[in-house]
Amino acid sequence: MNAGTGDSLAASLGEHVYTLATEIGERNVWRSEALHAAADYIRGVWTGHGLAVESQRYTVEDVESENLEVSLPGTKQPEAILLVGAHYDTVTGSPGADDNASGVAALLELPRLLADAERDLTLRFVAFVNEEPPFFFTANQGSRVYARAARRRGDDIRLMISLEMLGCYCDTPGCQRYPPLFRYFHPPQGNFIAFVSNLRSRRAMRRFARAFRRHSDFPCEQTATFAWVPGVGWSDHLSFWLHRYRAMMITDTAFYRYPCYHLPCDTTEKLDYRRMAQVTRGVADALAELAMTGI
pLDDT digits (tens), the chain, 295 positions? 444 457 899 999 999 999 999 999 999 999 999 999 999 999 999 999 999 999 999 999 999 999 999 999 999 999 999 999 999 999 999 999 999 999 999 999 999 999 999 999 999 999 999 999 999 999 999 999 999 999 999 999 999 999 999 999 999 999 999 998 898 899 999 999 999 999 999 999 999 999 999 999 999 999 999 888 988 999 999 999 999 999 999 999 999 999 999 999 999 999 999 999 999 999 999 999 999 998 8
* Paired residues of 123 in beta bridges: 72, 82
Q: Sign of torsion, CA 74 109 163 27?
A: negative
pLDDT of 1 reads 45
- List the helix and strand counts (H, then E) for the chain: 7, 8
Q: What is the DSSP string of 57-104?
A: EEEETTEEEEEEEEEE--SSEEEEEEEEEEE----TT---IIIIIIHH
- pTM for the whole thing? 0.96
- Do residues 66 and 127 touch, judged by C-beta distance below 8 A? no
Angle at 242 between CA 222 and CA 165, to 5 degrees: 45
Close Cβ partners of 159 (under 8 Å, ≥ 6 residues apart): 82, 83, 201, 204, 205, 208, 246, 247, 248, 290, 295
* Paired residues of 156 in beta bridges: 80
Helix (H) or strand (E) holding 249, with range, is strand 247-251
6-293: which CATH number, 3.40.630.10, 3.40.640.10, 3.40.140.10, 3.40.50.360? 3.40.630.10
Give, as one character, the DSSP assignment of residue 259. Answer: T
Report the side by side order of strands in the sheet with 121-128. Answer: 54-60, 63-72, 121-128, 77-87, 156-164, 247-251, 193-198, 220-225
pLDDT of 294 reads 84
Task: Kindly report, residue by residue over 10-26, the tens digit of the pLDDT.
Answer: 999 999 999 999 999 99
Interatomic CA distance for residues 59 and 190, integer angstroms: 39
Measured CA distances, 50 to 83, 193, 289 (Å): 19, 30, 23
